[in-house]
Structure 1
């Protein structure tokens, strides 16, 4: 991610935090806008062209989306195009991130991170489902409808909207990658980090609480724990937070021992 995009994301996130009237309809409109911009290289190029006057980019937003979206949506889109993005693709990602954050704000009482994580594990455990959602040949709206059906009554409106929207605009990304990114964004919006913990057996509530407390102290932020049962771990834990990996598993120590003996 370029420095320009980093600054642009900070500006759009701040604008969202200061906005009023942010609800699931705004999030839905932002997802649709990201899809429209992402599907048109001409539109994304025009909106991300930092050499073009800011007023011209604002006018494009007004001409394309106009009164078809809520005032809050139009304001957030305008803020997004006012920024300097490293690439047009980064602008699309930025609008999509705004949509995820808006959904998290709109449904603040739901455990959206956990619901997205659980759905990602469902996808990971069902190769046919992963293929259906990840195929380039499938109809985008049908994929969204499938996700809505699968999550109906099982997940919050926010998690359902996020997952069903993302599978319609994969942009060369795998479904699990999309869901993992969305989980991290939701956690960040709520002032948390997400730790994926790989263990040979499920953790007890007490173990989960102790681990969360230890990681929160280490990272200076609240940490949500998502556990993946992986028999290959053998014993101990492997923890991943963003790009950081803490590997205290028996399998890792055995692999290290074998390498030392071979060396």
Structure 2
């Protein structure tokens, strides 16, 4: 998102944070309601055009949103969406994208409140790795000919009892409503949102053998120092990375042996 839409989304996320700070708000239920609003506006092109029309007054758009959603979703969800339609959006679709982001953030906030956000981050990463290694599973979850119920049933079998409830809801929504994204891109976006909950960056670390706890701690500390942010490590093992390690942070890739990278990092820390 650019310009006005980016500012509008930032303001909406602040309002969401204020709402979910209250223990009386069920973050998971709010996430489902926002996902339902996303689906509605995705279908109703004319409605989302009206709700983002800069020629319409902010009060009129908020009143329309409240009238349409009142009784269908909770008061907090109505308040969030009404506030969002008061804002200016660079493109009509940005409003729908933003509401979808809030749905995911609400679920991640619930995970953070429950103390399982780290688990959800790891589960999203592991699921992405499973998808990338199984073309058959990917095809089953992305096939246009496969029904939604069949996809949900497959995900329940894969994740039910093995993943946190928040992870399962996030993945089910992504698979059943991809909204033009690839499954891989959607999972990457969810991982980034999860990291943002703690103001952290994500480092994908691939090594020939599993790293020890000491190595993980040292690598996390070094990367945090280099990038100026807390770092969440998504760890993967690939025997083809012979005697070495590969670290990817965003678009930047660092290759080299563990010893060399730690030695270089030590010099940076000392300087």
TM range (shorter): 0.7 to 0.9
Q: Which residue in 1 is equivalent to 2:48?
A: 44
Partner of 2:17: 17
Cα shift at 1:141: 4.3
- Give 3-state SS (helix, strand or coil) of 1:75's partner: helix
Residue-by-residue CA offset, 1:127-176 (whole Å, 9 max, x unaligned): 11111212233333442343233211111111111111111111221112
Assess, with a 3 A threshold, how the Cα gap between structure 1 residues 146 and 216 changes in structure 2: closer, same or farther: same
**Normalised TM-score (structure 1):** 0.87
Corresponding residue of 1:62: 66
**Aligned ranges for residues 87-106 of structure 1 at < 5 Å?**
87-106=91-110
2:255 is matched with 248
Residues 232, 37 of structure 1: CA spacing in aligned structure 2 closer, same or farther, 3 A cutoff? farther
Structure-2 residue corresponding to 1:27: 31
**What corresponds to 2:229 in structure 1?**
221
CA drift of 1:202 comes to 2.6
Q: Secondary structure at the match of 1:68?
A: coil
> Do 1:117 and 1:226's aligned partners in 2 also have CA atoms closer than 8 Å?
yes
Whether the 8 Å contact between 1:66 and 1:74 is mirrored in structure 2 is yes
Asked if the contact 1:124/1:130 (under 8 Å) is kept, the reply is yes
Quote the residue 2:181 is aligned against: 173
- What residue is the counterpart of 1:236 in the other structure? 244
The alpha-carbon deviation at position 93 of structure 1 amounts to: 1.6
- TM (normalized to structure 2)? 0.84
Unaligned runs of 5+ in 2: 258-271
Distance across 2 between alignment mates of 1:239 and 1:75: 42
